[in-house]
Structure 1
């Protein structure tokens, strides 16, 4: 009975999200509430037990026999709240503007340089973890240059999204937080495991972009003399797309301070000795008082950023209801035992890479929260039965991020394809051909070499 309820709950959650019948927050809270009530009657539990399951999923559970505590979603929820706040502040003050402008200036009409600096600019801007913002800024900065030079706009599209797919996996990125939350591990711990592969992937993306740039040089018959065709006025126009966005919020005189503050915060986060929420809460307070010293300005920035900060944090906390009911009711264990029972024993030693490959299309085509909170949270228990730790299961679930940035459920991609006059299917094919498959294989290899993904 519990196995059936678990399947029904997960499928209902995914279908309601995919059909847009419920918002992510409502689906994460109301669907498990309904199935939790059914589980109460099916197992002979009480309504008090139901609310205890929810409380445990949000806050923490204590194993008195094992003398251990398992944190709920409150830990990553607070981290995402303050990390999004901090990086939105940094985006507003213009921390990433000089680097992006530098890349634009250095290109000077060379197709190879244009593609290389496009991918570097996208890499830098995507550090804030926001897909839509990165696409808007990079498309605005480069699309006119691509058109003027006759470069393939589909290359601009895939060059922009390739690094986003990598750096969305930073500790403040949605996939990493969702995966860590679903597996019941700390974001810092997961990120430290992911980092070697992310750095390798960035190198691979730059190398692939270099080859695309060489192809464009050959196709266009470019020579060194052609570099003179781009006027200073054209360069200024492209830089203005970055420089003049929300100019009233910029603080160019405080660039050095904001850069140092950000580097200190990131280093402390990677070290893992201080909880991420504390780091970014304090860093946000410092950033506000330095960049916007007037009380009115500081308060206004908090109000303006609330629309970006609160939804993701609220969704993360809502996930505690889903995971709490799924785990506390026994549905997760029942489903895990069922799945483990149908897996051939001869495949048990290879379950981590098999799971990673199978999960890739799910990561691409399902809403992110539907996959991590609806499927990955259950697969954690299945993997455990094959000796795979929660961290290793989380890593396996992250391999599919190689194709996440061609997902049809990401609205910003339709905006990108519209600006570049692309058919979405063609965009998916080109990305997969040049970046997607290469990154999928690279992730599997690197994670296997460093021991993060047991083969």
Structure 2
């Protein structure tokens, strides 16, 4: 009972402090579990051992994050997909449905690096002028971006997949591979969402006289000269081939994913920026985000290691079992999968994956539900909640660029994104990836 109480207090403090922005995950993952274990009477040596066990499970995923962010940062600097995006924008022209579909495609390509801010900064400035001229509501733009980002974030270098891997004690690539069919289905659902929203906008009267809209106006954006100097359009094909090879090797699962990105990063930076000084500047430009995320992931290992090795997680699960009706126990993963989006909006990423997910996994085990089964159902909806959560900084960047209010964005997007997450969950059940 004491173990359970201390565990729940620790998780509650984690959630509350993260929600209120009173502390960073980096510090909470270190301090909270150590204090909790000390209160329970564990020695410094024992707590240190628990932390080491946890950190050992997170190191490979942390290294994956560092080099995947560096790699895609280089690709973004070099403008790997600039030509494709410009072409898509021009082909969409003044067709309302084509514009919304192109939004989905650009968001998908833009989120290949797993960075929410990058996707927002690539997609909104390129598409918003067209939306305004065609009288398409900006809420539609953000909703489509949110859906595409949520689906693409299932990649192994996406935050939620990596966090799930930490909880399961697996390599992120191993978690991602079963999710590939779900990801493909999610991209199809995102395009369908774009078509539906495009047709709704047409019925609302959206559209524009093509004769008054010049090619120069379509997709017109201001580009910083320093950013432009980093572009390598003549290397676009080489960069695309290299990225395709990286993804193929990851899918084959013959080499550790972090090794793949370490090699890819080294090749990419040499090809695109052979000057040593420029290589240093590119590294420094992307190092802050790469190191912050990976450091948070390493410290999360302390949280996971301590809560598991002390027995707190088992005690918390047992307490929850006493509350959950036995008739609902075997369906706990489906219930959580359905509610994943609204819960994920409120809890935020770290509290959701490191606080709630391990607990539900332990409850599921008691009723014969496999941990992977629980993880898949809970990761789908949470991913799609990414850009409607007030706890995600990119949400405010997106609504700021689109000049809309958060409440209006959530009011419009919530039902559509929840629908996408439910469709993905149903598809997972139909193909047998999620067992009932």
Deviates more, 1:264-273 or 1:49-58: 264-273
Partner of 1:390: 371
* 3-state secondary structure, aligned to 1:387: coil
* 3-state secondary structure, aligned to 2:274: coil
CA distance in 2, matches of 1:135, 1:161: 9
CA distance in 2, matches of 1:399, 1:264: 26
By how many angstroms is 1:440 displaced? 2.4
Matched, 1:155 2:140: yes
Alignment of 1:242-261 (within 5 A): 246-261=227-242
State which of 83, 89, 93 in structure 1 corresponds to 2:68.
Answer: 83
Gaps of 5+ in 2: none
State which of 137, 140, 149 in structure 2 corresponds to 1:164.
Answer: 149
Q: What is the TM-score normalised by the length of structure 1? A: 0.91
CA distance in 1, matches of 2:284, 2:207: 49
By how many angstroms is 1:199 displaced? 1.1
**Alpha carbons of 1:358 and 1:340: their partners in 2 closer, same or farther (altered >3 Å)?**
farther
Matched, 1:403 2:405: no
By how many angstroms is 1:397 displaced? 1.6
Q: What per-residue deviation string (whole Å, max 9, x for no partner) do you get for residues 265-302 of structure 1?
A: 11111221211110000100011111111211112211
State which of 85, 93, 97 in structure 1 corresponds to 2:82.
Answer: 97
Partner of 2:178: 193
Q: What is the TM-score normalised by the length of structure 2? A: 0.95
CA distance in 1, matches of 2:69, 2:188: 26
Partner of 2:215: 232
Residue pair 1:170, 1:191 contacting (<8 A) in 2 also: yes
Residues matched between the structures, number: 434
Residue pair 1:183, 1:376 contacting (<8 A) in 2 also: no
By how many angstroms is 1:186 displaced? 2.0
CA distance in 1, matches of 2:186, 2:126: 24
CA distance in 1, matches of 2:388, 2:44: 42
CA distance in 2, matches of 1:146, 1:245: 28
Matched, 1:48 2:45: yes
CA distance in 1, matches of 2:395, 2:384: 15
By how many angstroms is 1:254 displaced? 1.0
CA distance in 2, matches of 1:395, 1:415: 29
CA distance in 2, matches of 1:243, 1:142: 18
Gaps of 5+ in 1: 60-71
Alignment of 1:80-229 (within 5 A): 80-220=65-205, 222=207, 226-229=209-212
Residue pair 1:141, 1:242 contacting (<8 A) in 2 also: no
After TM superposition, the runs of 4+ consecutive aligned structure 1 residues lying more than 3 A away are 239-245
**Alpha carbons of 1:294 and 1:392: their partners in 2 closer, same or farther (altered >3 Å)?**
same
Q: What per-residue deviation string (whole Å, max 9, x for no partner) do you get for residues 320-347 of structure 1?
A: 1101110111111111222223322222
By how many angstroms is 1:222 displaced? 4.5
Matched, 1:452 2:426: no
CA distance in 2, matches of 1:53, 1:222: 61
Partner of 1:282: 263
Partner of 1:424: 406
Partner of 2:26: 25
CA distance in 1, matches of 2:224, 2:432: 43
